[in-house]
A and B are shown apart, each in its own frame.
Chain A
Amino acid sequence: MTEQDAITVQAPRAFLEVRDLRIHFPTDDGLVKSVDGLSFSLERGRTLGIVGESGSGKSVTSLGLLGLHNRKNAKVSGEIWLDGQEIVGSSPEQVRRLRGRKMSMIFQDPLSSMHPFYTIGAQIIEAYRIHNDVSKQVARKHAIDMLDRVGIPQPDKRVDDYPHQFSGGMRQRAMIAMSLSCDPELLIADEPTTALDVTVQAQILDLIRDLQKEFNSAVIIITHDLGVVAELSDDILVMYGGRCVEYGEVEELFHAPEHPYTWGLLGSMPRLDRDRSDRLMPIKGSPPSLINVPEGCAFSPRCAFAELNEGRSETERPELREIGPGHRVACHLDRADRRRLWDEEIRPKL
């Protein structure tokens, strides 16, 4: 796409609109297509959950949204419109000014994601002052306010503590305080609870939800944990092999999923309300190498129902098609067959 096209392209309606995002990494072994044609949109005040296995392109997508890929070793194409501004074609300096202020990120492991040599306060102050022309005292007061808001006791004392003096949950709260210090309108949380104790996970999820209401920001939760998604999200995007295979509202996706991969994810989820003698239904095989994504449907080698398509799965890539209001699926199976399989074979076993 030339620059001329980018300007004449239809202006986006949504707050965040991603169109045909592709993030490829040229390596000695070949081109790694981590994200290959991803499109979605998100409004303020809503939460999108991006779900998939390791290597499905979730985290690469989130770093791409922030413009954090090194342009020397990543080929990024497509469009990312954030509140009317396009990110992929912007200069690194323009994107940097957006980072932290307009959009920010919470990372998976708060211990390794915070600098071990600087106090929590110093790190929040730094994030705040880079985008706001205020004195150190004002920024410090703001940092203490933020720590208070994310529920850290005695914030005026803990502000001078180092990350290693915080517990895991407190660290993630501090990380959230840092991310929210400039009132970002888009918050991306990359596996925000994976590194935390189960008891702390729920607290952090509650915190993210409360803060979202307060700030009315758009939130993207990236996770492999369907429980987290069910808890927080309005919409769900299921990723496989760098592409979206199913997209829909959370109710719809949990109650009437239509992609065999989504069924597999649901079947792999442990549940307490089932008999323990019932086995989980793991998805067989492992995610495809992103260098040699299968020719046809990327999921076909692991799909239990691929033979129903008489070879189409191996040769032709399924398009993402709208099958209901806001519900899209990329699968060759006949709609009637999918519904029958879900009702008769999958749901009873869940």
Chain B
Amino acid sequence: MVNFLIRRLLAAIALLIIVSMVTFAIFFLVPRLTGASSADLASRYVGKTAGPQAVHEVEIRLGLNRPLVIQYWNFVKGIVVGAHYNFGPSKVYCGPPCFGYSFVNQTPVWPDLLDRMPVTLSLAGGAAVIWLVFGVTTGVISALKRGSVVDRASMGIALAGVSLPIFFTGLLSLAIFRDNLQWFPGAGTYIGLTQNPLTWASNLVLPWVTLAFLQAALYARLTRAGMLETMGEDYIRTARAKGLPERTVIVRHALRATLTPVLTIFGIDLGTLLGGAVLTEGTFSLPGLGKFAIDSINNNDLPRVLGVVMIGAFFIVLANLVVDVLYAVIDPRVRLS
């Protein structure tokens, strides 16, 4: 088991390094290949009105004129041990993990990212609990009552959930429950959990439900299909042949096997969302990582985009690592291979 853990951990680190290379290449290599010079990149720091002299200074200071390998090395070094920048007369130390400075307002990227994280964490975490509970329950009931009114109704709703985009259901829910019924007057503004837990939750109910509706629909379909498949397995027949009550057959034997693949997808989904629930945050104007990413892209703010991408990748890799370990705990066959 320890061996397994170390192997997975090393694989996760290797994956992150590769992701950093690819991201770096996309942001610094591709512009060069398409004809942009290092001066073009530098000019974004100093603004369009600056003279060529100022641009050149920035170019040298940020090392944009140096070979790409060195730049990549410095980029990684910044993340791991921090980096020194000298803006104008003063030398600035940017502590690890250093993702550099924003093009737009010259603030370091990392503290800004850190600021946004609780928002996304609250949104994704709360929604995950809701969709997991509702999605899996609905899926199991649908599978067990296959062909019944309950099954047809929930699968119909699930189809709607999968098909309707968040910016539609989200805006609809805002119009009805915030503006019309005034149930959640604060929806669309974020209050920290430590500030006021009640307002925090009440303000997040609509985004949670909207995001969870979409995901729950996916999970219900997934669980239903998995459950139907599992119920046809030979070991379910064996469990019944042993004389186990149907409830035990379903909970102990069928559900455990069904939930294993669901867990994998859950890990990936949660990891992806932690890197920014772009549509939901956009729809409810929540200042999370997703909105941060969109704003940065619109501003052409390369360092911020780079930072948000790396954080997103980090969460996905982390989630996968956790899932891998959980998988080994659940399925004994994984431990050996």
Interface residues of A (CB under 8 A from B): 63, 66, 68, 96-101, 104-105, 107, 109, 112-117, 119, 126-127, 130-131, 162, 164-165, 178
A residues near B233, Cβ cutoff 8 Å: 112
Contact of A99 among B241, B248, B256 (CB under 8 A): B241
23 residue pairs from A and B, CB less than 8 Å apart? A68-B241, A96-B240, A96-B243, A99-B241, A104-B242, A107-B241, A109-B234, A113-B234, A113-B238, A114-B235, A115-B238, A115-B239, A115-B253, A116-B235, A116-B331, A116-B332, A117-B257, A117-B331, A117-B332, A127-B242, A127-B243, A130-B248, A162-B332
Q: How far is the CA of A115 from the CA of B253 in the complex (A)?
A: 7
Q: How far is the CA of A316 from the CA of B187 in the complex (A)?
A: 78
Q: How far is the CA of A113 from the CA of B239 in the complex (A)?
A: 9
Q: How far is the CA of A114 from the CA of B242 in the complex (A)?
A: 11
Interface string of B223-265 (1 = CB under 8 A from A): 0000000000111011111111100100001001100000000
User: Given contacts A115-B257, A162-B332, are A68 and B237 in contact (CB under 8 A)?
Assistant: yes
Closest chain A CB from B242 CB (angstroms): 4
Closest chain B CB from A251 CB (angstroms): 32
Contact of B234 among A96, A107, A131, A165 (CB under 8 A): A107
Establish whether residues B242 and A126, one from each chain, have CB atoms under 8 Å apart when the complex forms. Answer: yes
B residues near A164, Cβ cutoff 8 Å: 332-333, 336
A residues near B238, Cβ cutoff 8 Å: 107, 113-115
Residue B330 interfacial (CB < 8 Å): yes
User: Given contacts A116-B333, A162-B333, are A104 and B241 in contact (CB under 8 A)?
Assistant: yes
Closest chain B CB from A85 CB (angstroms): 14
Establish whether residues B242 and A113, one from each chain, have CB atoms under 8 Å apart when the complex forms. Answer: no
Closest chain A CB from B8 CB (angstroms): 20
B residues near A130, Cβ cutoff 8 Å: 242-245, 248
A residues near B332, Cβ cutoff 8 Å: 116-117, 119, 162, 164
Q: A96-B243, A100-B242, A116-B331 are in contact. List 15 more A-B contacts (CB 8 A).
A: A96-B240, A98-B243, A99-B243, A100-B243, A107-B237, A112-B233, A113-B234, A115-B257, A117-B257, A117-B332, A119-B332, A130-B243, A130-B244, A130-B245, A130-B248
Q: How far is the CA of A97 from the CA of B246 in the complex (A)?
A: 12
Contact of A115 among B235, B240, B243, B336 (CB under 8 A): B235
B residues near A115, Cβ cutoff 8 Å: 235, 238-239, 253, 257
* Shortest Cβ-Cβ A-B pairs, 8 listed: A100-B243, A99-B243, A112-B234, A100-B242, A127-B242, A113-B234, A115-B235, A162-B332
